[in-house]
Structure 1
């Protein structure tokens, strides 16, 4: 019975076997394989024992391949050529930006930040085909064969690498129309009289806390009753634009509304101090990162930088609120 418990030894034996077939003697085969004749002789004997076949007829003056040895060499040569071709193809796929790239993204970030960049990415890398999954499920990246996931909040998994693309900054937003109807809050007690739109985190079913600045400008958790609650970030932003109340929105959800004037912000941005706060590109640990993953992450980072965002900053740092007073 053939022993495959040492595949590298078997592969080495096959290489030595072909070198012996080509050279016709152990000494020449040893030179081409950078070893000694004794090692070649032992490798051939071990291969013959595994196969239960005589591959070479030996004499003191001559080494002659048998019929079985010739047939075996033809098959082995083809297999090794196929293996080399496969390795070269895989190396090309790993080293060149090509092939199918599977991306999983958090819903809001996927719609607002990822989707607008896809056409430019594909134009730059036409050999890459995309498979996009957009949802708020924290899928197992490795089990689901995801190449890269865009997530808000760090995934603590030792099998994964998490590269922060930006912090996640929050802004206290409201529509100008709401302020026209209900007035601008001037003190802490005023907020109790206003409508708030809360966000329920799907994974934990807990409400996202509200943080507001004190007299020193320090952000502290603030207890407010939510008038309306949703578990969809885009719905929360649209409800805020529609004048249904205040909402504390992450920067990527607040951006379009603030830039268009359909939303205004009341305070400077709030950035949670936890190190796991932010937007991350998450991908499996591997010694040789495929080029398609590498160029995508670099493309995202450079695109965000052009839009005023980076590893440790977002555009929200420079946004001027319409109302800025201590609560």
Structure 2
């Protein structure tokens, strides 16, 4: 019976326990039989019925030494209680099915570049696989409280420091030092960090903090360090930065998901091997509120996203950037080629 699961709850649930005992007494016809059905003793059953009658101001059972007979008030009350328990059971079953079946509205928040370049191309396939799920997309680069805004899952880059949330790393965040092939037709290739003082640089301003993204450059041994360089151009939009770099306006350091299209198409060249920021906690994360039971719509979306990234050679601790051959490889004497 439904209320059996409530027997281990706090005293505030005594009314529900009393109703369970009341229905068992109606069905079994005696306190002793009801006690066996409810896994308790006859005195507990008697006390529960007495307490329920006192709360209602009604007599639910006529007692005698030989029999227990339900009153008309008791019959009417039993009908109401049974109807209530059926509705509650139905509601619980419906909610369980909603949690177990991938359906309903899935509200996703994503960083702009990742949403445009990685998430959007996957949505058609996801919707074909899970037609009962409706998508609601919130694409922006500002901090959003996903709990206050009822967001099911957020895709974010950087760091996650909120104890209310679960953060699953989808991939590290690997960076490339990029330039347009056309730019290099008319300019010398930088041979050391100091050479970049003679070249224009495209900077990225982080919207939330208004700070410029730091620049890391390698020495002759391939060891990356932070460098202060003047930015010739600045933008707060990652895709615009990539396009400006493709257009030959200067060098730019792009995260792997932002550099991918340009590198694949040949519109961008990676001057050096990829690098990762010193903090190991950084990366691309799927973030969702902590809860005992993860809704099926969120669970299947995370699985789908992980499978899609795996096909792109990305996982929690690696990305395809590790296999990309740069123009200048510190471990090789000759510049390798990315051409098939």
TM range, normalised to the smaller chain?
over 0.9
Count residues in correspondence.
Answer: 322
Counterpart secondary structure, 1:104: strand
The 5 A counterparts of 1:228-307 are: 228-307=233-312
Counterpart of 1:70? 75
1:171 corresponds to which of 172, 176, 179: 176
The 5 A counterparts of 1:125-274 are: 125-274=130-279
Counterpart Cα distance in 2 of 1:311 and 1:325: 26
Counterpart of 1:80? 85
TM-score, structure 1 normalization: 0.94
Structure 1 runs not aligned, ≥5 long: none
Counterpart Cα distance in 2 of 1:176 and 1:215: 22
Q: Is the 8 A contact 2:153 2:287 kept in 1?
A: yes
The 5 A counterparts of 1:105-124 are: 105-124=110-129
Counterpart Cα distance in 1 of 2:106 and 2:93: 20
Residue deviations 1:116-143, cap 9 Å, x none? Answer: 1111112222222221111112211211
Counterpart Cα distance in 2 of 1:324 and 1:270: 13
Counterpart of 2:5? none
Counterpart of 2:62? 57
Q: Is the 8 A contact 1:197 1:246 kept in 2?
A: yes
Counterpart secondary structure, 2:198: coil
Q: Is the 8 A contact 1:197 1:236 kept in 2?
A: yes
Residue deviations 1:163-185, cap 9 Å, x none? Answer: 11100000011111122233322
Residue deviations 1:36-90, cap 9 Å, x none? Answer: 2211111111111222222222222232222322222111111111111111111
Structure 1 runs of 4+ aligned residues shifted over 6 Å read none
Counterpart Cα distance in 2 of 1:200 and 1:101: 31
The 5 A counterparts of 1:4-19 are: 6-19=11-24
Shift of 1:201: 0.9
Q: Is the 8 A contact 2:217 2:225 kept in 1?
A: yes
Structure having greater relative contact order (Cα 8 Å, sep ≥ 6): 1
Counterpart Cα distance in 2 of 1:111 and 1:35: 61
Counterpart of 1:34? 39
Residue deviations 1:133-168, cap 9 Å, x none? Answer: 111122112111111111101220111111111000
Shift of 1:324: 4.1
Counterpart of 2:334? none
Counterpart Cα distance in 1 of 2:177 and 2:103: 42
Counterpart of 2:49? 44
Counterpart Cα distance in 2 of 1:313 and 1:246: 25
1:102 is the counterpart of 2:110: no
Residue deviations 1:86-135, cap 9 Å, x none? Answer: 11111111122222211111111011111111111122222222211111
Structure 2 runs not aligned, ≥5 long: 1-9, 332-340
Counterpart Cα distance in 2 of 1:71 and 1:31: 24
Counterpart Cα distance in 1 of 2:330 and 2:222: 9
2:25 corresponds to which of 10, 20, 26: 20
TM-score, structure 2 normalization: 0.90
Moved more, 262-271 or 26-35: 26-35
